[in-house]
Amino acid sequence: MVLDHVDKHYGDLHVLQDINLEIKRGEVVVVIGPSGSGKSTLCRTINRLETIDSGTITLDGKELPAEGKGLAKLRAEVGMVFQSFNLFAHKTILQNVTLGPMKVRKLKKAEAEAEAKKLLDRVGVGAQAAKYPAQLSGGQQQRVAIARALAMKPQVMLFDEPTSALDPEMVKEVLDVMVSLAKEGMTMIVVTHEMGFARVAADRVVFMADGQIVESNTPSEFFDNPQSERAKDFLGKILKH
């Protein structure tokens, strides 16, 4: 996955400035940075939930289609997990996971359900399959959301602050699932404030500020020996406590 000279404006605000980023197969990239630095926007442009003004984004050498069926097809290859879970409220947990495989991949119901149950077991919510999203805790809902994205067998998984809306005690259960995914070789782009996760699971940390990529390094180098003033200032503020 390659982002080449990507630019985006919201009115006068230049939210993404000349972003160049290459993610290799199996690589886990953690994007950190202060609020409003454009990291969520970056994540959302990758499956075109946000449009870009200029530059190109390519997956497997193919450029992102702008709209229509081609775009829908591409999105099926890119799994996305949101801060606010966004489970389909009128469908059961099982139906949440089988919807994509059945309607997009055209899998038979039995096949999709067997696959979905495996995934739900894997993220530890298999027992909740018949319930509705509102009956689950935040941590459980987010793990279902991960299973829903995985059910499409995506090439890349995007995580947009997946633990920011969770109670502290539920953060770990979600991070555990993400760490095991990373260990299994899933290509992942993770926007997060969880520095612990970045240290354990990331191959590379990308630090963003004011719409630019300021620094990009291995986690140990970045945390122990930040190069830019902006990164030093940011780490100084968050690591003091």
Write out the two tokens for 221: 């180098």
Q: How far is the CB of 162 from other proteins (least distance, A)?
A: 13
Give yes or no for residue 103 binding other proteins (CB under 8 A): yes
Give yes or no for residue 80 binding other proteins (CB under 8 A): yes
Q: How far is the CB of 210 from other proteins (least distance, A)?
A: 25
Task: Return the SS3 of 235.
Answer: helix
Query: What is the 8-class DSSP label of residue 204?
Result: E
What whole-number distance in Å separates Cα of residue 15 and Cα of residue 17? 6
CB-wise, 82 or 234, nearer to other proteins?
A: 82
Q: What is the DSSP string of 76-142?
A: HHEEEE-TT----TTS-HHHHHHHHHHHTS---HHHHHHHHHHHHHHTT-GGGTTS-GGGS-HHHHH
Q: How far is the CB of 172 from other proteins (least distance, A)?
A: 24
Question: Candidates 34-42, 81-89, 186-194, 205-213 — which segment interacts with other proteins by CB under 8 A?
Answer: 81-89
Q: How far is the CB of 208 from other proteins (least distance, A)?
A: 21
What whole-number distance in Å separates Cα of residue 133 and Cα of residue 138? 9
Give yes or no for residue 87 binding other proteins (CB under 8 A): yes
Give yes or no for residue 84 binding other proteins (CB under 8 A): yes
Binding string, residues 47-66; x marks residues near other proteins by CB under 8 A: x-x-----------------
Q: How far is the CB of 116 from other proteins (least distance, A)?
A: 13
Of the residues 72, 114, 130, 238, which one makes contact with other proteins according to CB under 8 A: 72
Of the residues 149, 174, 188, 205, which one makes contact with other proteins according to CB under 8 A: 149
Cβ burial of 92 (10 Å; 0-12, 13-18, 19+) is middle
Give yes or no for residue 86 binding other proteins (CB under 8 A): yes
Angle of helix 138-150 relative to helix 168-183, nearest 10 degrees? Answer: 20
